[in-house]
Amino acid sequence: MKEKSQKLGFWSIVLLTINAVIGTGIFLSPGSVAKQVGSIAPEIYFCAALFAACLAVTFASASRYVVKSGAAYAYTEAAFGENAGLYVGATRFVAASIAWGVMATGVVKTALQILRLDTSKISNVTLGFLCLMVILLIINFCGMRVFRFVSNLSTVGKLGALVLTVVAGLFLILTTGVNRLAEVELLTNDAGEKLIPALTTGGFVTAVISAFYAFTGFESVASGSGDMENPEKNLPRALPLAIGIIALIYCGIVFVAMRIDPVSLVTSKDVVVLAAVFPNPLLKGLIVGGALVSMFGINVAASFLTPRVLEAMASDGLVPPIFAKRTESGVPIYAFLLTVALAIIIPMAFRYDMRGIMIISSISRFVQFVLVPLAVITFYYGKNRGEVIPNPKRNFVLDVPFSLLSLGLTVFLLAKFKWAAQFSLQVDGKTVPNYYAIVAMFIGYVVLPVGVYLYRARKKA
């Protein structure tokens, strides 16, 4: 009974999902999305929310069959065997490291902006990055009490800043009748050309993926299913509900921002672009402060969780055991250092461009979004190669049509995505390949998984 009371119940899972998803994305992405599609930015976030909801239902369906911790890694292994699970496990670590890199870049640039230092100077951002990682390592050494305090403070900060933004925005709209939505379509660049490009299928897809970054994180919630009450029952209900609440908050924020001052949202150089929408200095400061607390808190969480993905793989014998070694204070120090290296290298390869690394962070998760729907269909028809719970509760509508819809949307987005644009740079007016970014992704998605396979094969031999 005592063990059950220590586990997460339904509403705790809902709150955990909200905390896992709401981080840097909504503070950083609206300007990028508005710059790509102009006045239809709110509709883009709605489309991203629908995509996230479909995937959340699919992940929730998978949790009815497999309650083992590990989320996509556990589902893929149960459906398709050890080799497929191994690749998802390795690439999931890379995706988590990239996500941490995005969050770290956001908090560093925000701090530099507050200190009135140049955020476009790579040396400033790199130095700030290293300082942040040292601070995070110290917090980890301090133990769980400090971690819980910072995590709780982060939750209060992020929700406070977001609710304040929506309430202040609605108050301005209702009292002044302001609606400047159309102004964003009139913006021009230095050459007199329209700043907002004509909408194409590729542009629409890229914008949806940019907005989708703000919804990522739900796919990792089931990693802790072993610490939840009745995960096969509570997860399928909690994930879609949490995504619905988050979508309501996000769409409200983008709605008010695009009506109050969409021009500032597109043209502002501020890292926390939401603050640029409001002219009131006090309100602007509160939004930036709340965003900084939120981003720092979620970096603390990432510094705790992400190295433990690698540590778990080491404990399972998939990578060298040195990555499972902990300090006396319980920090997996070697896993931490390798994760930090990846979290720095990827953003550096993209020259700390927030839009670029946010998109790559979203794309890096799509391996899971292809395999998990296929896994659910496999579970439903009993064709799995690994273990699932006895007598699982099958649901044809959720398990098959929803999984096919999730898979179809994922494949469509991948097919229409502008790959070349994300791996190129503008140098002296010419488009050239970004070899640093290409090599970094090749290492993360080819070299590292192959290394894991070879290590496991050698151990077996």
The Cα-based distances of 67 to 18, 167, 234, 430, 455 in angstroms read 21, 39, 11, 51, 28
Cα separation, 443 vs 65, in Å, equals 33
The amino acid at residue 97 is S
- β-pairing verdict for 430-433 and 424-427: antiparallel
Superfamily of domain 7-455: Amino acid/polyamine transporter I (1.20.1740.10)
Burial 229-257 (b: 16+ CB within 10 A, else e): eebbebbbebbbbbbebbbebbbbbbbbb
Tens-place pLDDT, residues 214-264: 888 888 776 666 667 887 788 788 888 888 888 998 999 999 999 999 998
Compute the chain's Rg from CA coordinates: 22
In contact, 52 and 212? CB cutoff 8 Å:
yes
Higher pLDDT, 28 or 102: 102
Cα separation, 253 vs 247, in Å, equals 10
Helices (H), 217-230: none
The average pLDDT across 262-277 equals 84
Looking at the chain, the whole-number percentage of residues with pLDDT higher than 70 is 96
In contact, 72 and 261? CB cutoff 8 Å:
no
- 422 has which bridge partners? none
Q: How confident is the model at residue 5 (pLDDT cuts 50, 70, 90)?
A: very low
Please choose, from the candidates 26, 9, 98, the residue with its C-alpha nearest in 3D space to the C-alpha of residue 367. 98
Q: Is 352 helix (H, G, I), strand (E, B) or coil?
A: coil
The domain locations on the chain are 7-455
Flag whether the pTM goes above 0.75.
yes
Cα separation, 323 vs 314, in Å, equals 6
Tens-place pLDDT, residues 305-359: 788 878 877 887 878 899 989 888 788 899 999 998 888 888 888 778 777 777 7
Q: How far is CA 24 from the centre of its chain?
A: 8
